[in-house]
Chains A and B, each alone.
Chain A
Amino acid sequence: MNKMKSNSLIDFSLHLADNALILGQRNAEWCGHGPVLEQDIAITNISLDLIGQARSLYQYAAQLKADGSTEDSLAYLRTEREFRNCLLVEQPNGDWAQTMLRQFLFSSYQYYLYQYLQNNKEETLAAIAEKSLKEVSYHLRWSSEWIIRLGDGTEESHSRILKALEELWRYTGELFIAAPYENDLGIAISSLKHDWSKKVNTVFEEATLKAPENVFMHTGGKTGTHTEHLGFILTELQYIQRVYPGCEW
């Protein structure tokens, strides 16, 4: 593989890993604060799956970099501008409706992306996608049911999910715009939009919701320009390793 392609593969793996890590960290903020115990356990279990996926991807990226990087240095010692996660996953938890909508929009995206990537010619990447897809299918089903429950629930739950939709929809455009590293690798990210929209609209219909139209879409996360929220997440996530370098649990 030529040098440029190899760098793109590292960037793409980091992008996938950062997506999983940041959403895992966000979901973990619910630990001990869930609306009921079972759902608190559910959202933190999803967090655990995502952090597991992030670990596999960081290990892969570290192996490709072959410069002494480790999964830990990649997660704990990179700065905000070096993170390549999409803007959607760094958005605050808000209320339960906002957390569920963020999970649903992201899980449905991850579902089609991993389905696509499990046929990738990079064997390790394909294996991680194949393994993660089983977990993501479970997250997608669970979060879809929540969208329907909230959208087609009470007046209050409906108004809350509408508010979440207004807040989060503007971060979904970025998911399907290829970053330079995706173009280099021939990852046809925009081709996933059709299936994703179909899935989202089917669930929205049952939830008596409608996808907003003509919304300005924010971009930048995939190439390192983030919303103000990421800095705060990293401050908390990286604190121990910054203060006690090399500290082990």
Chain B
Amino acid sequence: MKTTTIDKEALYACLEEVKDPEVPVLSIIDLGIVRDIQMNNDELEVTITPTYTGCPAMDVIATAIRVELTVLGFKKVKIVRSISPAWTTDWMSEEGKRKLKEYGIAPPNPKQQVCNDKLFAPDEAVQCPHCNSWHTRRISEFGSTACKALYQCDDCKEPFDYFKCH
């Protein structure tokens, strides 16, 4: 198979324009969804991975990738979905975490503490993205999208989303 050299940096920069439709402040690069870009003959192959198997954003994201790359002049684009290794919040960029917090969603902790099967474990300490207080509590292990849990700040009283352990 012939492999043409491509300017990967430019391609990644281009894919920065593709946002997660459910968390529009994050690009798919920030989320760590894009796993690889390869040129096979005249076909550009982009490998993406879902955050959760049922994430409804994946179809929209795949279409948006095609659009961006078409604009850049790539006529043949193949989107490959890969699920192994499985996505983890560790793949989220530092820039992505900063943007999340600014947007009002608590980013995943660097080392998530409650990612085991222990029952009734104490809530993970999560910092409020609004007032920076650590005085927060979990309202529900599930939230507005598959990847988030719901928290509330006991100081400023604001509810907020937190990227759940994964």
Residues on A lying within 8 angstroms of B by beta carbon are: 38-39, 41-42, 45-46, 48-53, 55-56, 123, 126-128, 130-132, 134-135, 137-138, 140-142, 144-145, 148, 203, 206
Which B residues touch A123, using CB under 8 A? 84
Q: Smallest CB-CB separation from B164: which chain A residue?
A: A138
> Most chain-A Cβ atoms within 10 A of its Cβ — which of B52, B54, B83, B117?
B54
For B86, give its contact among A39, A52, A131 (CB under 8 Å): A131
Within 8 A of A (CB), among B35-63: 50, 52-56
Min CB distance, B53 to chain A, in Å? 3
Which A residues touch B21, using CB under 8 A? none
Chain B interface mostly:
loop
Which A residues touch B140, using CB under 8 A? 38-39, 41-42
> Does B11 count as interface, using CB distance less than 8 angstroms?
no
Q: Say yes or no: B150 contacts A38, CB within 8 Å.
A: yes
**In the complex where A130-B86, A142-B141 touch, is A52 in contact with B119 (Cβ < 8 A)?**
no
Min CB distance, A202 to chain B, in Å? 9
Residues on B lying within 8 angstroms of A by beta carbon are: 50, 52-56, 82-87, 117-120, 139-144, 146, 150, 164, 166
Min CB distance, A127 to chain B, in Å? 3
CA distance A38 to B119 in the complex (A): 19
**In the complex where A38-B142, A45-B146, A134-B86 touch, is A144 in contact with B54 (Cβ < 8 A)?**
no
For A55, give its contact among B53, B85, B150 (CB under 8 Å): B53
Q: Smallest CB-CB separation from B118: which chain A residue?
A: A141
Which A residues touch B86, using CB under 8 A? 130-131, 134
Q: Say yes or no: B142 contacts A53, CB within 8 Å.
A: no
Q: Say yes or no: B119 contacts A148, CB within 8 Å.
A: yes
Min CB distance, B148 to chain A, in Å? 9
**In the complex where A42-B142, A52-B53 touch, is A141 in contact with B84 (Cβ < 8 A)?**
no
Q: Say yes or no: B117 contacts A49, CB within 8 Å.
A: no
Subset of 17 A-B contacts with CB under 8 Å: A38-B139, A38-B150, A41-B144, A41-B150, A42-B141, A48-B56, A49-B53, A52-B53, A52-B55, A53-B54, A55-B54, A128-B53, A138-B141, A138-B164, A142-B141, A145-B119, A203-B119
CA distance A223 to B145 in the complex (A): 35
Q: Say yes or no: B83 contacts A49, CB within 8 Å.
A: no
Which B residues touch A127, using CB under 8 A? 82-84
Min CB distance, A91 to chain B, in Å? 22
Which B residues touch A145, using CB under 8 A? 119-120
Min CB distance, A74 to chain B, in Å? 16
Which A residues touch B53, using CB under 8 A? 49, 52-53, 55-56, 128, 131-132, 135
Q: Say yes or no: A131 contacts B142, CB within 8 Å.
A: no
> Most chain-B Cβ atoms within 10 A of its Cβ — which of A53, A135, A140?
A135
Which A residues touch B82, using CB under 8 A? 127
Q: Say yes or no: A51 contacts B119, CB within 8 Å.
A: no
> Most chain-B Cβ atoms within 10 A of its Cβ — which of A130, A131, A145?
A131
